[in-house]
Amino acid sequence: MATVDTPITLATGADALAPPLTFRQMAWRRFRRHRMAMAGAVILILLFVYAFGGGLIFTAERANFTDTSARLQGPSAAHPFGTDTVGRDVLARTIQGGRISLMIGLMAAVLEIVIGVVVGAVAGYYGGVVDSLLMRLTEAMLIIPSLFLLIVAARLVGGSVTWIIIIFALTSWMYVARIVRAEFLSLKENEFILAARSIGTPTSQIIFRHILPNSMAPIVVSATLAVATAILSEAYISFLGMGVQPPTATWGNMLDGSYNYIESAPWLWIFPGLLILLTVLSINFVGDGLRDALDPRSRNV
């Protein structure tokens, strides 16, 4: 099986004179040809610049500054996204809220992937009783609706950002574990793994240097989609009043504060809602492009 740095010959004839491409080069070429994925990547970069770069100008103090004399003003030169019910600048709050929402999505996805990879790798590699126990635990977690678990857990621990990240990870790792387990079950019977065992290669090296690198394609795709899922989940529980609590802004709790003003002050929900939409769509497009680019069975170069 080809690893990430194995040179791959593309064609014969005139093209064969060119140096062979590595798997990384082929993956990048495929990804560039996926127009929606490239557009999604550009939008994501702009969103990160908006949230983290804009935070240098629109600080938390400015985002929480209240001016009741300017409450519920529409978009203007002074307030491009308008003001909210207590006169806070919506532009500044979407920037600060974006930092929290994106951080929750990224950190929850990282923790979810770590848990899922560990559980799936152990279950898939060792099999037997270990596999049965871990998969029964995974199936038990899958039976319980994740949104219900999120609501109950968020209610118990409050609106701490750290706890929300942990809750998201603990209620979402099951899908990653099943994907990784399936990859390990398939790869551990390949000849290069059997050869590594026969020469006495330590189990840790077999797992982390041989099997796991060849399982990265579905893991990377799962990671991108996990970010989108975490951002949406944060919006769900914040809209129900159980997420990050005001005055700390997130895109989700900004929507929660706008549902009484859907017609009278539509800018309160349009801008945070649009940012959530762009983020989730862009991540899904990037995930779709990564799935095609990292598929070792794809012949499209």
CA dihedral of residues 111, 114, 118, 121 (deg, nearest 10): 140
pLDDT in the model for residue 296 = 59
For residue 298, being part of any structural domain is answered with no
What confidence category does residue 14 fall into, taking pLDDT thresholds of 50, 70 and 90? very low
pLDDT in the model for residue 2 = 46
**Residue 108, pLDDT above cutoff 50:** yes
Q: Are 38 and 61 in contact (CB under 8 A)?
A: no
**Residue 43, pLDDT above cutoff 90:** yes
For residue 72, being part of any structural domain is answered with no
**Residue 281, pLDDT above cutoff 50:** yes
Q: For residue range 195-233, list pLDDT tens digits in order.
A: 888 888 888 888 888 888 888 888 888 888 888 888 888
**Residue 181 host element (H or E):** helix 173-187
pLDDT in the model for residue 194 = 84
Closest alpha carbon to 97 in 296, 275, 228: 275
pLDDT in the model for residue 298 = 56
CA distances from 183 to 110, 190, 213, 214, 245 (A): 19, 11, 11, 9, 40
What confidence category does residue 111 fall into, taking pLDDT thresholds of 50, 70 and 90? very high
DSSP string, 72-131: TPPS-SS-TT-B-TTS-BHHHHHHHHHHHHHHHHHHHHHHHHHHHHHHHHHHHHH-HHHH
For residue 84, being part of any structural domain is answered with yes
Closest alpha carbon to 229 in 149, 109, 103: 109
What is the domain count for the chain? Answer: 1
Range with the poorest average pLDDT among 19-23, 89-93, 110-114, 252-256 = 19-23
Alpha helices in 49-89 (DSSP H): 60-63
**Residue 295, pLDDT above cutoff 80:** no
For residue 252, being part of any structural domain is answered with yes
**Residue 13, pLDDT above cutoff 60:** no
For residue 145, being part of any structural domain is answered with yes
d(CA 295, CA 167): 31
Mean pLDDT of 59-64: 81
Q: Which two tokens stand for residue 35?
A: 């127009």
pLDDT in the model for residue 1 = 47
CB atoms within 10 A of CB 80: 12
Mean pLDDT of 280-300: 78
For residue 34, being part of any structural domain is answered with yes
Output the domain CATH number for residue 42. Answer: 1.10.3720.10
Q: Which two tokens stand for residue 236?
A: 């769900």
For residue 222, being part of any structural domain is answered with yes
Q: For residue range 224-278, list pLDDT tens digits in order.
A: 888 888 888 888 887 777 777 777 888 888 888 788 888 888 999 999 999 999 9
- For residue 246, what are the domain limits? 22-67+78-293
Average pLDDT in the chain: 83
For residue 73, being part of any structural domain is answered with no
Question: What is the value of pTM for the model shown?
Answer: 0.80
* CB-based burial, 268-292: b 16+ in 10 Å, e otherwise: bbbbbbebbebbbbbbbbbbbbbbb
Q: For residue range 129-165, list pLDDT tens digits in order.
A: 999 999 999 988 888 777 777 777 777 776 678 888 8
Q: For residue range 157-206, list pLDDT tens digits in order.
A: 766 788 888 888 888 899 899 999 998 888 888 888 888 888 888 888 88
